[in-house]
């Protein structure tokens, strides 16, 4: 039992470390830009796991995801409710701008708001963004960690109020 | 000996007048809006407050190839500006956000309020689930404090109507606003000095790849005054050269410039002192019109010099000229429009001052015999008149009145570009059409009154921005909390699979705690306030605003100013016929013959012709063009009167007068400041046409 617990604890520690590690590697945008792929339009599946502060049960949803180059992001949630979130509209403009900037490699738009961190594995890469002290999002966002290969596979958003969201994308 | 004593007395009088003028107390009014909007116009005080607010903000845009360079440019710029004069207000929402987060149940968007009032709890629950399961949705509070994400909904509603942008065509941008700190800082001399320093900093820091753009009312004012000063200096130099040349050409003696200068100085001083004594606030635009006295001073002087031995005929001519020139200006005094009354007093006393100087002191000067030069060619004059009137007729096809302030000022293309760029980068790229001014006993009272109005605005589909949008009143917060509590009591159990029973009970039993924003201490609150307890709601729709409430006034700046200008214009046009009728009567009485009526013909033709040509060139006539028409009527009588009873060297005298006066106005019409050029163009063509027409009308008399 004790060995089993140690194993689980190590796995969990390792998982957190994967995300935590990237913040040990600050990077200049000019260096990151050359290494990240240009993201193209894509249709795939997504899964979301949200952990809200003071709520024991995680909030889980899934559905279909569409990214259209130069336009934006669409989430078609199918479980547990049916809803569509269109990030091209005014309400989600800030998030949409971040996603479009990442996809089109116009990262300098993000320079104003975020500090960058980056690590690269053999097939994958991890990009970390932390809001600068003077940025608009600093009050509610702690970090955004993005992992990918030739497309974005994972996004991990941590808020200042303790809420966090993990998103997985699968082709 | 007598002459020397007289000249000494003249010198003493001018010196004393000069001392009086320096020591006069009272204000000089520089605000064009205040000049055109008398206090009798409704909302004039608020409009003037708004224009003063606009006059205290300099807009700055930073441009470069990448974000880092933009921020470096911005930092360098801010390091160099005079922080005792300017302050940079950056919106710090963290205090507001902390207050919202501490009291999430006190704030509701109008849509949610309506849903809660009509107890449509299922719809609110469905919306909250969408928000809960929204991938990458950012919940600002925790579910145990705001299970329906009503605060998210409230803040989404309050987002800016348009968004700023920091990337245009691969160039990076940032923008700031510099606020002039003090009222004293708005004095033109001080502002212009600081703006010129700002422009120097801009030039020092701008390179090929990094640029700084400046915009805002203080920049417009600086550019206009600089251009005007340059133009006026240029005009003064060249006009003076022409007078020197003509005087030397005709009289071989430039010493005659002394009496000319003395009469002009006397006229300006008497006009200025009289105006300052009669009126508490002296309008700076009065000085613009008063500059025409220089032409009168030169005209009267030349008439005196060319007549050689001024006899009874000369005295009669000059006196009749004075009377007929005074009439249109006296009429302006009865318009009850402050600016026109001031112009009237200035011009009347100025004219009297010049007249007095010519009669009393000019005999002290020795006047040499002038050359005879001018030999008018009838055919050429006739041809010139035909061409002028053809163009004038064409001009009437474009004739229309422009009562907007834009008729008087057109910014340069560079400045227009800077303004457009700032609007795009800062997100101010919206059309604010109207302002609703709300007054109360205290700021909370104002916010409560605003809420009644904004509820109506929202119901009628208007986009708006106001203090109450961000800072609900205490009453409204209490109402909101009550509505939310009803929602919890009736619907919150549906969240029992996510919230614990203890959390549900706590929410159902929660008590209202008022969020005290202390609005008077918030930065940027002054952007919404006209007065200590008078706020502004900015409305962005172009549909007519029906009566909202008894506790507010609707201000449509553009429309209010246009209405005021149109009413002046209409009054001035209505007064033309009486002015001409009175002049005709006076002339018939003075001349006791048809000659009196004949004298009026060239000025009348001058009016018709000058309006047509101005319409051809500018495509429009504005309020200041019409005031200039009164001046054309007054000034050009002079040429007709001296032709009707010609004296020695009459044609040369009239030629020299018309040439010097029209030349100055021609140069002034070419200056970049539309207000000045619109006055000058009417006067130039009026003088030229009157001079040419007068030749034909009085051909047999001369």
Q: Model ipTM? A: 0.83
Instruction: Give the closest residue to A101 by CA, choosing from A140, A129, A138, A66.
Output: A129
Report the chain A residue with the minimal C-alpha distance to residue B139. A163
User: A95 vs B141: CB contact, 8 Å cut-off?
Assistant: no
Residue of B348 and B619 predicted with greater confidence: B348
Among A56, A95, A136, the residue with its CB nearest the CB of B136 is A95
Set of chain A residues whose Cβ sits within 8 Å of the Cβ of B506: none
Set of chain B residues whose Cβ sits within 8 Å of the Cβ of A141: 138
Set of chain A residues whose Cβ sits within 8 Å of the Cβ of B141: 161
Mean pLDDT for chain B?
86
Output the pLDDT for position B78: 94
pLDDT in tens, B16-40: 888 888 777 666 666 666 666 666 6
Mean per-residue pLDDT for B532-536? 89
Report the chain B residue with the minimal C-alpha distance to residue A57. B498
A109 C-beta neighbours (distance < 10 Å), count: 18
User: A108 vs B71: CB contact, 8 Å cut-off?
Assistant: no
Which percentage of chain A shows pLDDT scores above 70?
75
Residues B33 and B19: beta-carbon distance below 8 Å: no
Number of A–B residue contacts, CB under 8 Å: 98
User: B133 vs A48: CB contact, 8 Å cut-off?
Assistant: yes
Tell me if chain B has a CB within 8 Å of the CB of A159. yes
Output the pLDDT for position A49: 94
Mean per-residue pLDDT for B310-315? 84
CA separation for the pair B498, A127 (Å, rounded)? 32
Instruction: Give the closest residue to B621 by CA, choosing from B466, B365, B473, B404.
Output: B404
CA distance A12 to chain B (A): 23
Query: Which A positions 108-137 lie with beta carbon below 8 A of chain B?
Result: 108-109, 111-112, 136
pLDDT in tens, B403-415: 887 777 778 888 9
Tell me if chain A has a CB within 8 Å of the CB of B63. no
User: A48 vs B499: CB contact, 8 Å cut-off?
Assistant: no
Among A54, A139, A157, the residue with its CB nearest the CB of B142 is A54
Task: Suggest the residue from A52, A99, A133, A159 to mutate for an interface test with chain B (most B CBs closer than 10 A).
Answer: A52
Q: What is the CA angle B395-B398-B404, rounded to 5?
A: 120
CA distance B486 to chain A (A): 23
Alpha-carbon distance values, A148 to A104, A121, A169 (Å):
15, 10, 10
User: B141 vs A161: CB contact, 8 Å cut-off?
Assistant: yes
Report the chain B residue with the minimal C-alpha distance to residue A80. B133
Residue of B160 and B561 predicted with greater confidence: B561
Question: B693 pLDDT exceeds 90?
Answer: yes
CA distance A122 to chain B (A): 28
Set of chain B residues whose Cβ sits within 8 Å of the Cβ of A146: none
Mean per-residue pLDDT for B504-519? 90
pLDDT in tens, A63-117: 999 888 777 788 999 999 999 888 776 656 666 666 666 666 666 667 778 899 9
Asked which of B74-78, B202-206, B358-362 is least confident by mean pLDDT, the reply is B358-362
* Tokens coding A141: 């966002």
Tell me if chain A has a CB within 8 Å of the CB of B144. yes
Set of chain A residues whose Cβ sits within 8 Å of the Cβ of B497: 57
Q: Which residues contact B291 (CB under 8 A, 6 or more apart)?
A: none
Question: B198 pLDDT exceeds 90?
Answer: yes
Q: Are strands B86-88 and B281-283 parallel, antiparallel or unpaired?
A: unpaired
Asked which of A110-124, B179-193, B195-209 is least confident by mean pLDDT, the reply is B179-193
Q: Could you give the count of Cα atoms lying within 13 Å of B79 in the half-sphere of its Cβ? A: 7
CA separation for the pair B515, B103 (Å, rounded)? 6
Instruction: Give the closest residue to B174 by CA, choosing from A138, A142, A134.
Output: A134
Among A61, A141, A163, the residue with its CB nearest the CB of B133 is A61
Query: B110-117 and B150-157 are packed helices; what angle lies between their axes, rounded to 10 degrees?
Result: 130
Long-range contacts of B185-193 (CB under 8 A, 24+ apart): B185/B56, B185/B85, B186/B52, B186/B55, B186/B56, B188/B30, B188/B221, B188/B225, B191/B218, B191/B221, B191/B222, B192/B221, B192/B222, B192/B225, B192/B226
CA separation for the pair A136, B278 (Å, rounded)? 56
CA separation for the pair A163, B131 (Å, rounded)? 14
Tell me if chain B has a CB within 8 Å of the CB of A53. yes
Output the pLDDT for position B227: 75
Among B67, B135, B166, the residue with its CB nearest the CB of A167 is B135
């Amino acid at each position: 039992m004790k060995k089993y617990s140690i194993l689980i604890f190590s796995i969990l520690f390792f998982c957190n470390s994967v995300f935590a590690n990237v913040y040990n590697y600050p990077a200049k945008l000019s260096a990151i830009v050359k290494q990240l792929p240009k993201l193209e339009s894509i249709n795939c599946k997504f899964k979301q796991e949200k952990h809200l502060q003071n709520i024991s049960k995680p909030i889980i949803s899934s559905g279909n995801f569409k990214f259209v180059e130069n336009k934006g992001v669409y989430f078609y949630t199918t479980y547990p409710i049916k809803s569509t979130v269109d990030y091209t509209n005014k309400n989600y403009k800030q998030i949409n701008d971040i996603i479009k900037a990442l996809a089109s490699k116009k990262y300098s738009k993000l320079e104003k708001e975020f500090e960058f961190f980056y690590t690269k594995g053999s097939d994958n890469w991890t990009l970390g963004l932390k809001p600068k002290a003077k940025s608009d999002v600093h009050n509610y966002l702690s970090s955004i960690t993005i992992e990918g290969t030739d497309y974005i596979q994972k996004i991990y958003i941590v808020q200042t109020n303790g809420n966090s969201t993990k998103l997985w994308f699968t082709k | 000996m007598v002459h020397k004593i007289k000249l000494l007395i003249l010198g003493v009088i001018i010196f004393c007048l000069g001392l009086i003028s320096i020591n006069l107390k009272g204000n000089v009014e520089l605000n064009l809006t205040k000049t055109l909007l008398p206090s009798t116009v409704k909302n004039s005080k608020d409009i003037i407050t708004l224009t003063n607010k606009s006059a205290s903000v300099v807009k700055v845009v930073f441009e470069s190839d990448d974000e880092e360079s933009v921020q470096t440019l911005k930092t360098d710029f801010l390091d160099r500006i005079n922080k005792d004069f300017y302050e940079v207000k950056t919106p710090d929402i963290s205090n507001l956000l902390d207050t919202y987060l501490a009291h999430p149940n006190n704030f509701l968007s109008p849509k949610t309020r309506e849903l809660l009032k009509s107890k449509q709890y299922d719809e609110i629950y469905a919306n909250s689930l969408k928000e809960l399961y929204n991938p990458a949705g950012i919940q600002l509070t925790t579910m145990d404090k705001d299970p329906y994400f009503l605060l998210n909904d409230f803040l989404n509603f309050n987002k800016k109507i348009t968004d700023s942008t920091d990337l245009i065509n691969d160039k990076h941008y940032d923008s700031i606003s510099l606020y002039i700190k003090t009222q004293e800082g708005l004095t033109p001399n001080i502002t212009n000095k600081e703006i010129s320093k700002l422009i120097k900093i801009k030039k020092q820091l701008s390179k090929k790849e990094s640029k700084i753009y400046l915009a805002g009312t203080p920049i417009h004012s600086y550019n206009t005054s600089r251009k005007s000063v340059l133009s006026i200096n240029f005009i003064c130099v060249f006009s003076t050269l022409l007078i020197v040349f003509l005087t030397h050409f005709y009289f071989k003696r430039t010493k005659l410039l002394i009496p000319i200068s003395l009469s002009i100085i006397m006229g300006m001083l008497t006009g200025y002192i009289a105006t300052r004594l009669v009126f508490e606030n002296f309008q700076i635009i009065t000085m613009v019109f008063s500059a025409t006295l220089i032409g009168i001073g030169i005209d009267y002087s030349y008439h005196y010099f060319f007549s050689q031995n001024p006899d009874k005929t000369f005295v009669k001519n000059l006196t009749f000229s004075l009377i007929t020139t005074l009439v249109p200006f006296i009429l302006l005094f009865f318009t009850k429009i402050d600016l026109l009354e001031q112009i009237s007093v200035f011009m009347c006393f100025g004219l009297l001052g010049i007249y007095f100087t010519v009669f009393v002191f000019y005999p002290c000067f020795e006047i040499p015999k002038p050359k005879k030069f001018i030999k008018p060619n009838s055919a050429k004059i006739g041809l010139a008149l035909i061409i002028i009137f053809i163009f004038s007729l064409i001009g009437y096809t474009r004739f229309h009145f422009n009562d907007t302030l834009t008729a008087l000022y057109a910014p340069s293309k560079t400045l227009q570009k800077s303004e457009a760029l700032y609007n795009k980068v800062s997100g101010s790229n919206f059309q604010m059409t109207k302002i609703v001014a709300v007054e109360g006993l205290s700021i909370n009272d104002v916010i409560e009154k605003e809420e009644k109005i904004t509820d109506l605005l929202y119901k009628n589909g208007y986009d708006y921005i106001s203090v109450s949008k961000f800072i609900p009143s205490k009453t409204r917060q209490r109402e909101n909390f009550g509505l939310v509590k009803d929602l919890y009591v009736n619907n919150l159990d549906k969240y029992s699979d996510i919230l614990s029973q203890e959390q549900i009970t706590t929410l159902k039993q929660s008590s209202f705690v008022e969020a005290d924003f202390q609005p008077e201490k918030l930065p940027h609150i002054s952007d919404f306030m006209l007065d200590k307890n008078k706020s502004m709601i900015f409305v962005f729709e172009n549909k007519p605003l029906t009566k909202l409430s008894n506790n507010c006034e609707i201000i449509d700046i553009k429309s209010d100013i246009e209405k005021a200008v149109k009413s002046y214009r209409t009054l001035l046009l209505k007064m033309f016929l009486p002015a001409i009728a009175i002049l005709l009567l006076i002339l018939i009485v003075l001349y006791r013959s048809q000659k009196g009526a004949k004298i009026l013909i060239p000025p009348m033709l001058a009016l018709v012709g000058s309006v047509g040509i101005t319409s051809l060139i500018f495509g429009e006539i504005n309020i200041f063009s019409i005031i200039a028409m009164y001046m054309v009527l007054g000034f050009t009588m002079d040429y007709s009167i001296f032709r009707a009873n010609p004296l020695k060297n009459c044609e040369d005298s009239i030629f020299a007068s018309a040439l010097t006066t029209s030349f100055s106005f021609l140069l002034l019409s070419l200056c970049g400041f539309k207000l000045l050029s619109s006055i000058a163009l009417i006067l130039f063509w009026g003088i030229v046409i009157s001079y040419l027409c007068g030749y034909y009308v009085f051909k047999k008399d001369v």
